[in-house]
Amino acid sequence: MSAIRLDSTSELLLKANDIRVDIINMLLPAKSGHSAGPLGMADIFTALYFHTAVHDPKKPQWDGRDRIVLSNGHIAPVLYATLGEAGYFDKKLFNSLRKFGSPLQGHPHKGALAGIETSSGPLGQGLSQACGMALAARMDKKKHVVWCLTSDGEHEEGQTWEAVLLAAKYKLGNLVAIMDRNFIQIDGPTETIMPLESMAAKYRAFNWEVVEIDGNDMLEVVKALDAARTRAASGKVQPPLMIIAKTVPGKGVSFMENAYEWHGKPPNAEEAAKALAELRAARAKIKA
Amino acid sequence: MKLEANLFAAEMKKVAIRDGWGKALVEIGKENKELVVLTADVSESVRTHWFEKAFPERFVQCGVSEQNMASVAAGLAMEGKTVFFSAYGVFSPGRNWDQVRVNIAYNNLDVKFSGAHAGITVGPDGATHQALEDMAIMRVLPNMCVICPCDEKEAGKAARAAAERKGPVYIRLGREKTPVFTTDSTPFEIGKINVLADGSDVAIVACGVPVFEALKAAKNLAEDGISAAVLDCHTVKPIDKKTLVEFARRCGCVVTAEEHQINGALGGAVCEVLSEECPTPVVRVGMQDKFGESGDGIELLKHFGMDSAAIEKAVKRAIGKK
């Protein structure tokens, strides 16, 4: 089990708050990058890396670790913030996001930084890679769990559904996918750009197990991830699991919440200051 | 260079290039327990069904999904597997270029994949199924190695060499039964041209099916008093610059021959090397920026000017440019 495991909800909420602060601080000097998705996913990343997943930041290549594949690479800031907070690398690197020579590439690059399992950015490819990892684990009778974090928008890519078919065919029960169902994409609301509902019905029809949760309710997230891990680590040949996590894009920063305009842009200095003030207030409330 | 005796005899044994690949996978699979093979619903056509039969637990049938297959292959390779996958060249790498670029080449993974039924000689299926651009789109990718074997024996050697090599390798295979003119003792080293015939008036640099056509052309040209060297440039990337420059200097002109568009693959690569290292007249034999059509493979090779007669004509043009 992870050496950095946090068990109380308030500790986890404080860590998620740290990660949101890191995201804002990282995006400001970068002057480009995505704000809404990373903030919305901060609770799930916290629960996964600081509670449920089995991994060791001191041994990033340890073979027994859970594989955490980020498919929608554009939410890299939340991955970097989480890995930095977990101790995979020096947090001083946060300031270098998207800068020349930095291992914090605009989209994650495997090998550039400890803890990054795959290179990602082009959408719809992560679930396929996670399937490959899950197949390898089964062939080698290994017990770790393969997690794949996906976005709702990337379900518009046909390849995602090719992977959904394959995972169901091979009953990759050691695979857990988590969908960031935040209902926004760059050009607008998902249901306007390309209607995706019902995601749960679609996955069930494709012979997956489906769980739906509020992705910003820490207690609910932790319970769902723990249950998913227990199921996936059982070694049973069983349907893969999709956790559809409804999240609020921009969560924690009032003027970014649910506004698709914040999908693909960073805050300016004034907006960052306002965001950080809100996060400080939220922190005080968690502590109280 | 050791080749079969009686090269141009009518009874020359003919075997499909893809068979060499398929047989080699089974052999490699016996030694390398980490070898995993994937196919997209064409296992018999691409000759991975022999591996499937021998090692069902290490075979993944992806269905008709070339993009998924390339990314699944990457996932397996990241877990330490040596991964081979196969489909038709028009679909893979034709359809999964982005997955090959980002998941496989960018990470420099040990994934080796074949594009089968490549070239005009796939014949009756028509233009949609004739992969004539596959080597060009693979050659531009960093870390990628591109091999185009000339016969069934060389395809087997290429598969074994690919398994040994670090990083991704694309191997292009034809469907038609073609003469097996190399032997078990013909050398094969990735990135090293095989000089099949020496010559001093022109160097014919070929890959794939046209290598045998080049040998035929050289024989006919000799009767006209033209001494043509025949170079089997099976590795299109990384290309053997040293041998190319050596023969360009010696012969003063070059003809390239491939079953591919003249832009972007062997012809393009040879022109790039020679224009930088040793400016030399080059005439490129291949598909002249056109799409193909249905017909018998050998008939099409002739119609679109990639057979021995077309090579002979090109040689005369090249000599005229000296």
Q: How many of the other CB atoms lie within 10 Å of CB of A35?
A: 27
Mapped onto helix, strand or coil, the DSSP state of residue B227 is coil
Structural domains of chain B, count: 2
Inform me whether the C-beta atom of residue B58 falls under 8 Å from chain A C-beta atoms: yes
CB contact under 8 A, B78 and A122: no
Whole domain around residue B75: which residue ranges?
A: 14-179
Lowest mean pLDDT among A68-77, A94-103, B10-19, B291-300: B10-19
For B31-46, what is each residue's pLDDT tens digit?
999 999 999 998 888 8
| Assigned domain for A2 exists | no
Q: Which of A110, A116, A128 to mutate to test the interface with B (most CBs of B within 10 A)?
A: A128
pLDDT of residue B45: 87
Whole domain around residue A93: which residue ranges?
A: 9-287
DSSP 8-class letter at B15: E
Catalytic residue (one of B27, B57, B66, B246) = B66
Please give the torsion angle defined by the CA atoms of residues A185, A91, A274 and A100, in that order, rounded to the nearest 10 degrees: -60
Count chain A–chain B contacts defined by CB atoms under 8 A: 99
For B205-230, what is each residue's pLDDT tens digit?
999 999 999 999 999 999 999 999 99
Mapped onto helix, strand or coil, the DSSP state of residue B190 is coil
CB < 8 Å & 24+ apart, contacts of A107-114: A107/A73, A107/A74, A107/A76, A108/A70, A108/A73, A108/A76, A108/A79, A109/B106, A110/B78, A110/B107, A111/B107, A113/A80, A113/A83, A113/A88, A113/A89, A114/A57, A114/A60, A114/A83, A114/A88, A114/A89
For residue A254, give every residue at least 6 positions away whose Cβ sits within 8 Å of its Cβ, in sequence order, or none.
A278
CB contacts of B102 in chain A (<8 Å) are 119-122, 125
| Assigned domain for A1 exists | no
Arithmetic mean of pLDDT over chain B: 96
Are residues B162 and B225 part of one domain?
no
Instruction: Evaluate the omega torsion of the peptide bond into residue B45 and state whether it is cis, within 30 degrees of 0.
Output: no
Give the residue on B whose Cα is nearest the Cα of A169. B62
- Residue B7: pLDDT band by 50, 70, 90 thresholds? confident
Structural domains of chain A, count: 1
CATH of the domain at A44: 3.40.50.970
CATH of the domain at B110: 3.40.50.970
- Residue B12: pLDDT band by 50, 70, 90 thresholds? confident
**Minimum-distance CB partner of B68 among A128, A133, A139:** A128
Q: What is the ipTM of this complex?
A: 0.95
Q: How many of the other CB atoms lie within 10 Å of CB of A212?
A: 15
Mapped onto helix, strand or coil, the DSSP state of residue B254 is strand
Give the helix/strand (H/E) hosting A164: helix A158-169
Residue whose entry in the numeric block shows the structure tokens 């974090």: A149
- Alpha carbons within 13 angstroms on the beta-carbon side of residue B29 total 23
| Assigned domain for B184 exists | no
Give the residue on A whose Cα is nearest the Cα of B107. A110
DSSP for B127-154 reads: GGG-B-SHHHHHHTSTT-EEE--SSHHH
Q: How many of the other CB atoms lie within 10 Å of CB of B314?
A: 24
The end-to-end CA distance of chain B, in Å, is 28
- The model carries a pTM of 0.96
CB contact under 8 A, A159 and B78: no
Q: Which residues of chain A have pLDDT under 70?
A: 1-3
- Number of residues written out for chain A: 288
